[in-house]
Amino acid sequence: MQTNNTGRCTNWKTSRHLYGINDTKPCRQVSQEEEKKLEECLCPACRQYKLNGLKIGGMEGFCNRATHNLWILLEEARLIEEHLYNSGNYKEWYKEHLDNTIYRPLIAQIVENLESKEVGKG
């Protein structure tokens, strides 16, 4: 295995093997609901390459998915900031916006804790 002076692998094929990256492995199936959301996605990767760009293997597909994920993360941060600071309706908004049942109770607890701290200040 080729390494540089930091001990990191510099051979992409070896690195892919070490980290279990396999271009022949089929990507996971996308549900019809997810497919519809992706068709409407405004990120640069989805606008230019559509769903096929996210499904493609190799470095190109990896870069498309990374672009998509970063864009989504930044857009979510923007929306949270907008509803926390600009419109001030985050407490109601997140309940409609957040459909991930794993994180929703956690967010509810955080909102409740923040409200109790606000009451204690006033």
pLDDT, position 24: 53
The yes-or-no verdict on residue 16 having pLDDT over 70 is no
The Cα angle at residue 44 between residues 39 and 60, in degrees rounded to 5: 95
The yes-or-no verdict on residue 21 having pLDDT over 90 is no
The yes-or-no verdict on residue 3 having pLDDT over 60 is no
**pLDDT tens digits along 54-113:** 999 999 999 999 999 999 999 999 999 999 899 888 999 998 888 777 888 999 999 999
Tell me the two tokens of residue 101. 């049942």
pLDDT, position 1: 37
Most distant CA atoms of the chain, gap in Å: 63
Alpha-carbon distance of 79 to 100, in angstroms, equals 16
Bigger pLDDT: 45 vs 122: 45
Query: What DSSP assignment string belongs to 58-103?
Result: HHHHHHHHHHHHHHHHHHHHHHHHIIIIIS--HHHHHHHH---TTT
Tell me the one-letter amino acid at 3. Answer: T
- Residue (of 117, 47, 51, 43) closest to 74 by Cα position: 43
**pLDDT tens digits along 24-36:** 555 678 889 989 9
pLDDT, position 18: 39
